[in-house]
Each structure stands twice: as structure tokens, then as C-alpha cells.
Amino acid sequence: MAGFSPALPFGMSPGEGIVLTTSLLEVIKQNFKNLVLTNPGERVMLPDFGVGIKRYLFEMNDAVTQSSIQSKIGEQVKKYMPFLSLDNIQFLSTNDMFDAGTVNIRIFYHVSPLEAADVLTLTI
């Protein structure tokens, strides 16, 4: 099977081998997700790489924290994925999520060279 890179999380397909990403948009979304989830200092030779979204896990879910997250995502995208344009970042929570200590983040973006748009949704 032809593809661009191993899909994450790793998976095996019977008779095919490792499951691969099949489009450039899928590769970009996977790389963007890694950028957001990686903690600064975690990537070898790139100590500034990563948003480190999980470090905000125990912060107050208020406008100040959300603004900090938005600016950190924007800063990292500008530095490491300049071909992405961020359209909107939404922080969604319900009473159930509040009780569970989680929040959903939706990042709307478009990829200029591909003239394609997508949404990255994360639950932290």
C-alpha cells in the first residue's frame, strides 16, 4: 500500500503491514497534533518545539489561560508550520467535562499550499 508516513497511533493491517497516512492533509494534521501535544524540551535538538498543551491541564479554564494557549499555538505554528493559517480556536466544555476535569479544544485551520481547511479536535 502506498502512503506518506506511518499513521499514528501505529497500527497493522493484515497483509498490508503498517497503516500509512494516505494524503498530505492527513500528514499535516498528524504533525500539527504532535506540535500541540509535545512539551517544550521533549523533542531532541529542538528544545523550543511544542505547545505543551497538557501543562495547562490544572490551570483555571478562564479567558487568561485560553488566551495563553491561543498565543502559544499561534507562536509555534508560525515557527514550525508557517504554511498553516489559524482561523479560530474554540474551547468547549460542558458540566460533565467540568466534573471530569477535561476540556475540548477545536482548532480551525487551513493549509495555504493545498487550499484545504480542516479541524483539529483535542480533549485534554
* Domain CATH number, residue 93: 3.10.450.40
Please compute, for residue 102, the number of CA atoms within 13 A of its CA located in the half-sphere on the CB side: 8
Domain count for the chain: 1
Residue 9 in contact with residue 100, Cβ under 8 Å? no
The answer as to whether 7 is a domain residue is no
| DSSP annotation of 80 | H
Asked, for residue 2, whether it belongs to a domain, the answer is: no
Q: pLDDT tens for residues 25-41?
A: 988 999 999 999 999 99
Q: What pLDDT score was predicted for residue 1?
A: 55
- Is 41 inside any structural domain? yes
pLDDT digits (tens, 9 = 90+) for 83-103: 999 999 998 876 655 556 677
Domain containing 110 equals 12-123
Contact (CB, 8 A) for 33 and 51: no
Q: Is the pLDDT of residue 3 over 80?
A: no
Please report which confidence band the pLDDT of residue 105 belongs to, taking 50, 70 and 90 as the band edges: very high
Is residue 6 assigned to a domain? no
Q: Specify if 65 maps to a domain.
A: yes
Q: Mean pLDDT in the chain?
A: 87
pTM of this prediction?
0.85
Distinct helix (H) and strand (E) counts, the chain: 3, 5
45-86 pLDDT tens trace: 999 999 999 888 888 878 898 999 999 999 999 999 999 999
Residue at 33 is within a domain: yes
Note the pLDDT of residue 81: 95
